A and B are shown apart, each in its own frame.
Chain A
Amino acid sequence: MAVLAGGAVRRPSRFRHWRQWVTAYWFLAPWLIFPLVFIAGAIVLAFYFSFTSYDLLSDPVFIGLANYQKAFQDESFLHALRNVATYTAVVVPSQTFIGLVMAAILDQKLPFRRFFRIAWYLPCVASSVVTTLIFMWLFLPDGFINAALNFVGINVRINWLGDEATALPSIMFMNIWATAATFMLIFLAALQDVPGPIYEAANLDGAGPIRQFFQITIPLMRPAIFLVVLLGTIGCFQLFDQVKIATNGGPNEATLTVTYLLWRQGFRDLNMGYASALGVILFVVIFAVSLVQRRFLDVKPDY
């Protein structure tokens, strides 16, 4: 590289702050070492192992793209992808709509608002293990869900989580119950940002509350709706806890998800290479879906 006349002048100034740099790295280092190893390092290893066959007992063997080829011929994986797609298609719109309605209710100046907000938020803060155990119990053939249905005159004794037809819908139901309020909070924050004068103008024009909601509130909330749909989709694609605890992917793979298959391949069957490849595919799928959603949903509101 050529040394210019000015370089000699600039050079000392570039390193003038070196003491502060060193201090800054001292502040950063104790934390940064962990993400360097367990995020950055792990991402590199995930790619590396996805090209290998590795069972923990013998050394990893490089097998190129074979794991990826295997995935797209693996009936279980394709089935898991279909399950997750169905699950996402039902859960994301439901929890977005319910979250929005909950936020709209809380945004009214109702009495006991603080109580409602805490009460509605409790399903989101209990651990996935607790909520899953509770619903496993409620979903028993002799449980409260069947009892409630019988009470209103539908005489059934369904084994909700044990029946192939109802297992996935049951998990959908419990997750909508457990997550709707998280999204409600995001909507609530966004609702409070909608300028008041717009509603006053709409009132003067004679628009009713329902019309105001659909023609003013929802269009102005598009960024929040995008965020909720994005976070919801990412969450749905990662569905694991409920499946692991309640159904183990069954009955007959009816609730098999990509993450559960990844766990089963990696930590039950010790196919570390194949499990890594499934992880990389999951990442690519989530990334692609969020790009598509950004294309269609992420529009700045125009006032």
Chain B
Amino acid sequence: MVTVARAQTLEMQRPRLRFRISRVIFLVLALVVTALALTPFILTVSGSFKTKSEILDWPPTIIPRIFEWMNYVEVWTNSHYFPQWIVNSLFLAGFHLLIYLGICSAAGYAFARLRFPGATVLFLAILGSIMVPGQVLWVPKFLIINQLGLVDNLFGIALPDLAEVFGVFFMTQFFKSLPKELEEAASIDGASTFRTFRQIILPNAYPALAALSILRFQGEWNAFQWPLIVVRSPDHLTLPLGLASFQGLFGVNWNWVLAGAMFNAVPIILLVIFFQKYFIRSAASSAVKG
């Protein structure tokens, strides 16, 4: 214990010094974390430009001696399915955004604004379904898809993905935050609920729909487990599945594997850089729920 007088003099000198030192320590730590997070990506970019022989060198080089741009061309041409995988993944993401955004915002609107019997029970049931791990449903979902004749078909991936519940919660929360006056004015003018939704509510929901599109695009573009179960033929694979099979096909040609991986990673990395706040907010909102 120090006397009051000494405590005061200490406080005059210490906070500044401590502030500086802790700031430097924190900055050094931040740089260490940054290095750990980015190094694998930087090495991947470097590896994707190495020649077939240089990528096998020991010790591995950090900067390629010769920049082999052809890896990016060869990955397209050597497996003639590669462009097809990109098309398949784009199709899945496009189909999902087109259909899912429409049906999940309609459902979200019903939960947020319309009164109907069973609303609370239904909402809680949907909330509870999050507790069921996706893998538990692999077998029954596959058997349903099999009955529908959609095994090894892109729609076999796309249709069950529409059962996604995240978007419905997301849109419900958003519609609850909109001022009620919006619809009240419309209903005085005699507009039907459907017209109000399409002409007044949806145009006001563009920011939420944009955020949801980005998150769902990421989900569909990166999806691995369900597509793995549904599709088999090489020309029906999605880009992540194709890349995973690549490594078996090409064995030691890591320069091609890494170049191929860039086609999957770069679009998402660009999205995160340009639309940072959407990703951060969605993670933060999961904290609010808890």
Contacts and interface: CB of A to CB of B under 8 A. Distances in A.
Q: Do A and B come from one complex?
A: yes
Interface of A: 17, 20-21, 23-28, 30-32, 34-35, 37-46, 49, 56, 101-102, 105-106, 108, 110-112, 114, 116-123, 125-138, 140, 142-144, 147, 150-151, 177, 181-182, 185-186, 188-190, 203, 206, 208-209, 223-224, 226-227, 230-231, 234, 237-238, 240-241, 244-245, 259, 262-263, 266-267, 272, 275-276, 279-280, 282-283, 286-287, 290
10 contacts: A28-B122, A38-B141, A43-B137, A116-B30, A127-B264, A128-B224, A185-B283, A224-B287, A244-B228, A279-B133
A180 B107 CA distance: 33
B264 A27 contact: no
Nearest to B160: A38
B238 to A, nearest CB: 10
Interface in B37-80: 37-38, 40-41, 43-44, 47, 56-60
Interface of A is mostly: helix
Interface of B: 7, 15, 18, 22-23, 26-27, 29-30, 33-34, 36-38, 40-41, 43-44, 47, 56-60, 102-104, 106-107, 109-111, 114-117, 119, 122, 125-126, 129, 131-144, 146, 159-160, 162-163, 165, 168, 193-194, 197, 218, 221-222, 224-225, 228-229, 240-241, 243-244, 247, 254, 257-258, 261, 264-265, 268-269, 271-273, 276, 279-280, 283-284, 286-288, 290
B261 A134 contact: yes
Among B33, B159, B168, B241: residue with most chain A CB under 10 A: B33
B247 A142 contact: no
A230 B280 CA distance: 20
A46 B136 contact: yes
B163 A35 contact: yes
Contact of A245 (B43, B129, B137, B244): B244
A134 B40 contact: yes
A150 B59 contact: yes
A40 B244 CA distance: 31
Nearest to B2: A206
Among B18, B107, B139: residue with most chain A CB under 10 A: B139
Given A20-B116, A126-B265, A130-B264, A266 B138 contact: yes
A28 B110 contact: yes
A34 B247 CA distance: 35
B115 A17 contact: yes
A282 B224 contact: no
Contacts of B33: 102, 105, 116, 120
Contacts of A286: 131, 133
Contacts of A190: 287
A238 B103 CA distance: 29
A186 B102 CA distance: 29
